[in-house]
Structure 1
Amino acid sequence: MASDAANCCASSKSDHTVIADVQSGVDRRHIAIDRVGIKDIRHPVRVSDRSGGEQHTVATFNMYVYLPHNFKGTHMSRFVAILNSHEREISVNSFKEMLTDMAQRLESKAGHIEMRFPFFVNKKAPVSGVESLLDYDVTFIGEIHNQHPTMAMKVVVPVTSLCPCSKEISAYGAHNQRSHVTVQVRTSDFVWIEEIIDLVEAQASCELFGLLKRPDEKYVTEHAYDNPKFVEDTVRDVAQCLNDDPRILSYIVESENFESIHNHSAYALIERDKTQTPHSST
C-alpha cells in the first residue's frame, strides 16, 4: 500500500508541473498572420525633452509580430514582459532595442510597435509672458524586418488657421478655426519632438497657448488675421521646411481644419520619400 501511495503522489505532482503549451502547436491551415499581439495596453514611460529634463507620462502601446503559417499562436504574455523590462527613458535607441528584443523573444522575422503618449511643452504667452503647459499627441512607430529596425515619429500639433477667402471678401473680420497638423517623419539623425512642433507652429496662422491674458488674446487674433492660410497653404509650407531639412528622409504632412462655418472639415495631405527619385511635375 505504501508503494501505491508514493506512486500516486508522484503521478499527481507530475500532472501539476507539466502544462501544455498550446500556442506552440502546429497549425495546418497554411495561412500566415501579418500582425498578432496586444493592443491598447497602457504603461508608464519616461521621455526626454529638449530642456534637458524628462517627462514622466503614460503611453498606450500596440505591439505585434508576424506569425508564420505553421504556428498556432503567439505568446501574448511575452509582450507585457518586454514592456516591463524596458521601463526606462524612451529614446530612439531604446525603442529600437525594444523592437529587436520583441522579435527575438517572439521568434519572429517581423514586428511592429506603436507608442502613443501626451507630450507637454511649457509655453509663454506672446505679450504678458505668462507660462502654461500645452499638450501634444506624439506617437513613436517602429518596424523590424529580418533584424533591421526602423523608426518614425508622428506629432499632432493643434494650431489656428484663418481663411484667406473669408478675409478677402468680408467687409470686416474673417472666419478662423482650430486645426490639427499631423507630421510623421523618418529621419537619418536625431530630431527633438519640440523641433517638429516649432516647425509646424511657425507655418500656421497662429500657434495655440494654454493660457492667455487680454493683451495676448488681442495679439493672437491680429496675428492670425495678418497670416491667413488655406489648408493647402499649411501643408505646402510645412512640407517645404521638411524638404529643406537634410535629416528628414521621408514625411507625411496632414492638415485638418475643423471649419467654424461648416459641419465638415477641410483636409489636405502631402507624402514624400526624399530617398526616392522625385516624379516630374505635371
Structure 2
Amino acid sequence: MDKLSLKSAMRILITGSNGFLGQKLVDKLTSEGSAVIIATSKSPNRNPNTIGYTFVQSDLTDAQSLEKLLVEQQPTHIIHTAAMTSVEACENNPEECEAMNVTLVAHIAACCREQDIHLTFLSTDFVFDGTAGPYHEADTPKPCNNYGLSKWKAEQAILHSGCKAAILRTILVYGHIQDPNRSNFVLWVKAKLSENTVITVVEDQWRMPTWVDDLADASILAATKNAMGIYHISSDTLMSILEIAQAVANFWNLDSSYIKPISAAAIGQATNRPRKTGFIIRKAKDELGFQPTALATSFQEIEKQLALYNNV
C-alpha cells in the first residue's frame, strides 16, 4: 500500500470517532502525527487513546451543531464514519435511520461543497441484494433492507451535491482496537470458542471480510489523494461466513466442533441480507494504491495487537 503521506496543512475531522473504524482512524492518524486531527461523537470520548487530537462531543444530526463544529474546527477533510449500522435498528426505526444515514449525510455534503472540504464517506456492500456478486463500482445497487437503502440514498445525495467526495463501500469489517467494548465477528467467534461455547454461524452467505486496519488505511489514502468517486474496499477472497468462523478456530487452535452451521432462512435472513456480495477492487488498487491484507496475516497482526494491549 502507498505510504500514508499526510500533509501538515490537513485538518481531518473524523465523525463517529467512538465507533470501530472511527477509533482505528484516530489511532492511525495520531501515530503518523503530521496532520491536525479532530474527532467527534455524540457521546463522550471512549477511545483509551486521548493524545494527539482534539475531541468534540457533538450531535451532528442537529444542523446548528454541525455548522458550529465546522466553523470552529475548519477541517480541510472529513472522514464520515458515523452511521446507524444495525440492520434491525434501521428496520425498526426508519425515521431515525433516515435522519442519521441520509439527512445528515446530505447536510455534510452540502457543507463540504460550500466550504471546499473533501469528504470521505463509508458505505456498504448492503447497497446490493447479493444476487450477482462480486460487484464492480458501476454495478446498479439494489438494496434488500432499509440499512442498505439508506446508504444508497446517502451515496446519491453526495454524488448530486457537487462536493469533492470519495465513497468507500466495504464488507464485514473485523479486527482489534484498544476499546474492549467494541467487538466484531472475528473477535466474537474467538471469544465464544475460547469459552467452549456453541455458536451458530450462517453457511449460505458469502462475503469478502475487511480488516479494519486496511479500511482505515484506504480511508486515509482517499483523503490524502483527494479522491473522487466510488471505490470498493475489502479483501479479495470470497468466503462463506461459516468459513470465516472456521478460519478463526484454525488460527487460534480452537475447537471448531462448537461451530454449528445454520441456513440464512432458519434465522430469518433469506431475503433481508444479501446472499453473496464480494467486490472487484481493481479500481481501489490502481487509483488509491490500496492493497488488502490476507486473512491469516491480519490474524497474526490482531494477535500482536491483543498481546500489546493485554486484551486477550
Fold conserved between structures, TM > 0.5 = no
TM-score, with length taken from structure 2: 0.28
Q: Is the strand fraction higher in 1 or 2?
A: 1
Q: Is the helix fraction higher in 1 or 2?
A: 2
> Quick check: which has more Rg, 1 or 2?
1
